[in-house]
Structure 1
Amino acid sequence: MLHALEVHYPTPYRAMPAAEVKAVLDRVFDYLNAVTPAELINKTSHAPIAKLDKADPDAVLKPGDFRLTSYEWGVTYAGMLAAGAATGDQLYTDYTIKRHQLMADLTRLYLPVVKADTANAQAPIKSFLNPHALDDAGALCMSFLKAKQSGARVDYGQLVGVCAPFVTEKEYRLSDGTIARGGPGADGKPKMRPLQNTLWLDDMFMAVPTIALMGKETGNSKYYDDAARQVLQFSRRMFNPQLGIYMHGYVEGMRDHPELHWARANGWALMAMVEVLEVLPKNHKDYKAVEAQLRAHANGLARYQDKDGLWHQLIDRPDSYLETSASAIYAYALARAVNRGYLDKEMFGPMVNLAWNAVASKVNAKGEVEGICVGTGMAFDPAFYYYRPVSTKAAHGYGPVLLAGAEVIEMNKKFKYGLNDSGLMYQGQQQ
């Protein structure tokens, strides 16, 4: 019968078995474990430092392909924890714990030195110990809190003591309390990044999960209130309800704003919402509003998925290139939302599998992730986004791939799925 003819899908049209998902994750792990050494060396001689018992100004982290204290690596640490939980492979968990322990040891030695002389002190993790932006503290703090709350045996007291107050109290905000950039610098003049009083959609993720997790950590409802308020105030300004997606930037005081819907920033926003809902008490006054915003965004993104599984760099402009990191974030966040019951498995399960299979095809034989847009500020014209380079050395894609694979394993363990009249369908719980 003609309707049963074999179809040649460019992206495999099936739910990937857990063992195959793990094989993809294993390639990523092997690559990252090899190129991100958790070691110290002398900055002049490059000789290894086996044991550090004082704040040596000449000690530095051994260089690798990626920095161990970047916000991207905060996401990677969370991804390793998730992969360890989903696969049962302790190697993933140990990757994060080893590097967290190194950071805790360095914080104990160097924090007093940096506090005493922030301008001149030398430390292997100085950007973390003396944070100046959410990028220095937010995602790393999220990973510390996730690890601590999952029972990791690292003393996270000083680490969280550095990053949590910066995110929750010191980062610049607009007059209504919304996390923003473009506040006053050391000279009293506004930091023009790019303009005064600018909201970056990225900052929903850079700040809000940490704020929410501090609610769980402390039991203080002010953090839950703030996290939910951030989601709703960002969304009020930046979400386009007709399109179902967010603009990348908003500048207070402008009458018009650049409606450029950058994919990865939309991923950070989606991820922020699932992370907030993970810890926000269900009886919180804003819980339903955050969940409704998540569903509105998920349904908007569903309209734009490419036929072969990925999303475009500018979501609603199909002549922009297909981008891997955003697609991996969507796969993770949508799968998590299905697993937690925020979204219907029947609608989003097949979409997630198509996305994951497409993302998995971007992991090469070495374990590098291809098609990742490099770091990207905000701009007011499409050319900026269309022509951003891609690179396997862009750190933004690795954590999302680990998170996506882990959550897909959990989703396909939880729900029944299979082909029904040639279409991939989800039908009920696994027994």
Structure 2
Amino acid sequence: MQTVQFLLAYLPRSTMNLHLLRTATAIAFCVLLGSTVRGESPAANTLDETISQYPLSGVVRSAIGVTRGDTPIPCLLSAESLDANSKKFHILLIGGLDGDLASVRLALQSMASFQKDPTLSRRFTVSCVPCARPDDLGREGIDALSFPPSGNAYNQPDNDVAHYLWRWIGMHAPDLVIDLRGDEGDEWVYPNQPAKLLETIRPHGLKISDRMAKPDSLVSALSRHKPAGTGSIPALQTGSRQAIDLITASLDRPSVSLPHSHAQNEIKRRLARSPLEIAQELSMVYGHQLDSVQYIPALAVIGRMRVGELTDDPQPLRDAIKLGEPYRSERKESLPARSSGSTLSGHLVFSQLARRTGDKRWTRLAKKAADDGFDADGQPKVSMPFHNEMSDAVFMGCAILAEVGALTADAKYFDQCLRHLQFMQTLCLRDDGLYRHSPLNEAAWGRGNGFPALGMALSLSAIPEDTQAHRVFLDSYRDHLQALKQHQDPTGAWHQVIDREESYREFTSTCMITFAIVRGLRRGWLDPQEWAPVVEKSWSAIKSRIGSGGQLVDVCTGTGKQKTVRDYYDRTAILGRDDRGGAMALLVATEIAFWEKN
């Protein structure tokens, strides 16, 4: 650690030395803490070899999660399953829940068999999770997973695979799930209360097991519960090698309607909402308190004010003024002695109130936070305080400086904004254009990249275009988004660890990155032909993860510096209401609504 402190203290900080400092810092920490490069997994190699034996075409390979052995859990997706407008009946095959390689081969064989029959593609499409438990392949007597899984996702060593599978199925929302087993023979196992669709299949030549599925089995749970809060899904279990042929033969008859699952219908409902409709739904839940000046409630209040602008409703602004009044009148301290980066960025609510009301008392409040970047003599500090070496500080420190610079027309705030950006880049910007969350580890945490994207977009919005600061920010912003674009998931989301597709698809980072892109499209910083399709995908991913009443899917909990990639994998993914997720969703929904309105 002394080596790094020496580098930060004594290497010059001019622009021409930034690359040298960044490189030296990264090298020093790699020497001290070791590499985080992913190693080869025997289980992953076995699975890759098995998948390669089957002639599958036109599929998108991704991952649904990661095992305790750091083995990615792969999925093979049909293109139609990623198309929100597809009317085809979607079947999902799952192998390997029994740890039997035969069930993995059966899943792959069934998918390949389906692809060989072009007549079935009229009404059906098939995706596959070939092996849900790759680390358990070949093990005798493995315990069955229990569904719905208990505890937090995705940090329960005994059942985190169940969490990955459960939530991923809910968001993927197939119309029928088939759990393939290596030892079932031609038996078919149904839930005790099969959906109407399954009753349609049963009479047509299928050998029905005398036993029903266990209540905590995947097929029973899918039929009785709402995975990821979306809706129930018909499911059955079998070891039949003719599974796809028999099911599609039963369903592909003129007299049989193919109803979409409740999960699929719920996803379609979510996707059909306009940005303004979603923003209005969210504003009913989020943005109604400012008990302390922190970025989460502040951004939510700002989001509600933006909803008011879009709908010509003055009430959200009145509410925001009322919430801010204790700080404006100095009955409450906005910047207490024990503050943080979140406190600094929380003062953005005051800069936005100043813009909307013209009241300079709000400007003075915002200025209190920005002035923390200067010493008692008014000289700029090396950086904004409270950065804790974390990439979050690109947002926490830069945006309030830029806003105050615009409100006061004082260039020193823009200069300090640039100084702070470059300081954080020496610590956290990787050579590939992504941000490590902190020098403790090379992991490109999702929100640890969402914060720089959001922070640079907000700063650029306030910094005058004819300044050096704007030019540097714009180059950094574009470079960062280009790096992020390479890692957008096929579903449109970004991951909890940006460049690890096996980490979960994280809600807030997807919101923040999408906001940054849309702001660039609105302001002319980005080429619409290149970036509008990126937003189309990411906005679909966001919409699908916003349920009724402010319910959200997979919001990473508050996260400080972590020491390993595994630590980031294991951060709790919140399912339900969450103030942080709601604030970010409000920002991006209103940004897209403004974009469409303009």
Aligned equivalent of 1:151: 357
1:102 Cα deviation after fit: 4.2
> Are 1:306 and 2:489 an aligned pair?
yes
Aligned equivalent of 1:337: 520
Of 570, 573, 580, which residue of structure 2 is paired with 1:387?
A: 570
Aligned equivalent of 1:88: 312
- Counterpart CA distance in 2 for 1:373 and 1:17 is 22
- Counterpart CA distance in 1 for 2:547 and 2:83 is 16
- Counterpart CA distance in 2 for 1:273 and 1:396 is 19
Indicate if the aligned counterparts of 2:328 and 2:361 stay in contact, CA closer than 8 A.
Answer: yes
1:158 Cα deviation after fit: 5.8
Larger Rg computed on CA atoms: 2
1:361 Cα deviation after fit: 1.8
1:167 Cα deviation after fit: 5.2
Q: What residue identity is the alignment partner of 2:355?
A: Q
SS of 2:530 mapped into structure 1: helix
Aligned equivalent of 2:339: 133
1:85-128 per-position Cα deviation (integer Å, ceiling 9, x unaligned)? 334343443442331234434x2x3xxxxxxxxxxxxxxx55x3
Aligned equivalent of 2:284: 30
- Counterpart CA distance in 2 for 1:263 and 1:20 is 26
Greater Cα offset, 70-79 or 130-139 = 130-139
Closer, same or farther: CA 86–331 of 1 in aligned 2, 3 Å:
farther
Aligned equivalent of 1:189: none
> Are 1:142 and 2:348 an aligned pair?
yes
- Counterpart CA distance in 1 for 2:85 and 2:435 is 30
1:73 Cα deviation after fit: 1.2
SS of 1:240 mapped into structure 2: coil
SS of 1:208 mapped into structure 2: helix
Aligned equivalent of 2:542: 359
> Are 1:199 and 2:423 an aligned pair?
no
- Counterpart CA distance in 2 for 1:247 and 1:235 is 10
Q: What residue identity is the alignment partner of 2:436?
A: M
SS of 2:537 mapped into structure 1: helix
Q: What residue identity is the alignment partner of 1:395?
A: D
- Counterpart CA distance in 1 for 2:559 and 2:438 is 12
- Counterpart CA distance in 2 for 1:297 and 1:96 is 33
Aligned equivalent of 2:299: 75
- Counterpart CA distance in 1 for 2:352 and 2:363 is 13
Mapping of 1:221-240 within 5 angstroms? Answer: 221-240=411-430
> Are 1:328 and 2:328 an aligned pair?
no
1:155-214 per-position Cα deviation (integer Å, ceiling 9, x unaligned)? 4266336434335558xx9x97133548xxxxxxxxxxxxxxx41111111111111112
- Counterpart CA distance in 1 for 2:381 and 2:362 is 31
Greater Cα offset, 144-153 or 300-309 = 144-153
Aligned equivalent of 2:555: 372
Question: Runs of 4 or more off by more than 6 Å in structure 1?
Answer: 16-19
Aligned equivalent of 1:188: none
Of 234, 237, 245, which residue of structure 1 is paired with 2:434?
A: 245
How many residue pairs were aligned? 337
SS of 2:389 mapped into structure 1: strand
Residue ranges of structure 2 left out of the alignment (5+ in a row): 1-57, 59-78, 87-267
Of 383, 386, 389, which residue of structure 2 is paired with 1:178?
A: 383
Closer, same or farther: CA 330–293 of 1 in aligned 2, 3 Å:
same
- Counterpart CA distance in 2 for 1:17 and 1:390 is 22
- Counterpart CA distance in 1 for 2:423 and 2:559 is 23
Greater Cα offset, 141-150 or 294-303 = 141-150
Indicate if the aligned counterparts of 1:138 and 1:167 stay in contact, CA closer than 8 A.
Answer: no
> Are 1:398 and 2:582 an aligned pair?
yes
- Counterpart CA distance in 2 for 1:18 and 1:232 is 41
Indicate if the aligned counterparts of 1:228 and 1:276 stay in contact, CA closer than 8 A.
Answer: no
For the aligned residues, what is the CA RMSD?
Answer: 3.1
1:132 Cα deviation after fit: 2.3
1:335 Cα deviation after fit: 0.2
> Are 1:101 and 2:325 an aligned pair?
yes
1:327-365 per-position Cα deviation (integer Å, ceiling 9, x unaligned)? 111111110011111111111112112212211222221
Indicate if the aligned counterparts of 1:314 and 1:385 stay in contact, CA closer than 8 A.
Answer: yes
Identity across the alignment (%): 21
1:52-91 per-position Cα deviation (integer Å, ceiling 9, x unaligned)? xxxxxxxxxxxxxxx5533211221222233333343434
Aligned equivalent of 1:268: 451
> Are 1:286 and 2:469 an aligned pair?
yes
Closer, same or farther: CA 12–400 of 1 in aligned 2, 3 Å:
farther
Q: What residue identity is the alignment partner of 2:427?
A: R
Closer, same or farther: CA 37–178 of 1 in aligned 2, 3 Å:
closer
1:289-318 per-position Cα deviation (integer Å, ceiling 9, x unaligned)? 210110000111111111111111000011
1:11 Cα deviation after fit: 4.6
Indicate if the aligned counterparts of 1:168 and 1:211 stay in contact, CA closer than 8 A.
Answer: no
SS of 2:458 mapped into structure 1: helix
Closer, same or farther: CA 9–145 of 1 in aligned 2, 3 Å:
same
Closer, same or farther: CA 12–142 of 1 in aligned 2, 3 Å:
farther
- Counterpart CA distance in 1 for 2:369 and 2:383 is 18
Aligned equivalent of 1:423: none
SS of 1:406 mapped into structure 2: helix
- Counterpart CA distance in 2 for 1:219 and 1:301 is 33
Closer, same or farther: CA 77–333 of 1 in aligned 2, 3 Å:
same
- Counterpart CA distance in 2 for 1:375 and 1:167 is 25
Q: What residue identity is the alignment partner of 2:279?
A: L
Closer, same or farther: CA 289–161 of 1 in aligned 2, 3 Å:
closer
SS of 1:32 mapped into structure 2: coil
Closer, same or farther: CA 281–81 of 1 in aligned 2, 3 Å:
same
- Counterpart CA distance in 2 for 1:166 and 1:87 is 36
Q: TM-score normalised to the size of structure 1?
A: 0.70
Q: What residue identity is the alignment partner of 1:229?
A: R
Q: What residue identity is the alignment partner of 1:410?
A: F
Indicate if the aligned counterparts of 2:363 and 2:404 stay in contact, CA closer than 8 A.
Answer: no
Mapping of 1:209-228 within 5 angstroms? Answer: 209-228=399-418
- Counterpart CA distance in 2 for 1:129 and 1:180 is 13
SS of 1:201 mapped into structure 2: coil
Instruction: Point out which structure has higher relative CO (alpha carbons under 8 A, 6+ apart).
Output: 1
